[in-house]
Amino acid sequence: PSEPLPLTSGQNHYNYYLVQQGNSQEFLSSNFGQSYETLDLALEDMKVTPNDFYTSVIPSTVNFEVVKGKDVTLVKFKEPLDLASMGAIKATQMIDGMLLTAASFGEPLQFENIVQTEWNGLDLRKPLPIPVGPNLMPFLLN
């Protein structure tokens, strides 16, 4: 795989939400209707569902603070967060949505106060890699 190409238009500071299609398939999508000046504002606003089309990937019971560091932004959960109690799909959607939001700012994220130290191959004790894009799609050969 090649290195991701950074977007430099200045219009790519979006946060991510869950979109459900009519066939019940769920996808992560950025909220193109709203861009943000800072990553902390974008992450905080992800707690709020902006309209009937998008659903927040952050459960209403999950609270966190965002601390901007020199090389990484830290998301500190106020209570220990047990990803297993959320369910694998919902937990992964939350982590991916937050990582994709950070990626739209070109910034890595690190999480603090998560019960698990690893999740889906990610080491949650370290800054996480910037994802290339949302929604893993199967590669089909005809």
- Dist. CA 73–CA 138, nearest whole Å: 31
pLDDT tens for 44-54 read 999 998 888 89
Q: Say which residues have a Cβ less than 8 Å from residue 110's Cβ, sequence separation at least 6.
A: 72, 73, 74, 75, 126, 127, 128
> What is the per-residue pLDDT across 64-123, written as a single tens digit (0 to 9) for each?
999 998 889 999 999 999 999 999 989 999 999 999 999 888 888 999 999 999 998 899
Kindly give, in sequence order, each residue whose CB lies less than 8 Å from that of residue 28, ignoring residues fewer than 6 positions away: 16, 17, 18, 19, 57, 93, 96, 97, 100, 134, 135
Per-residue pLDDT of 5-53, as tens digits, reads: 665 555 578 899 999 887 888 888 888 778 899 999 999 999 998 888 8
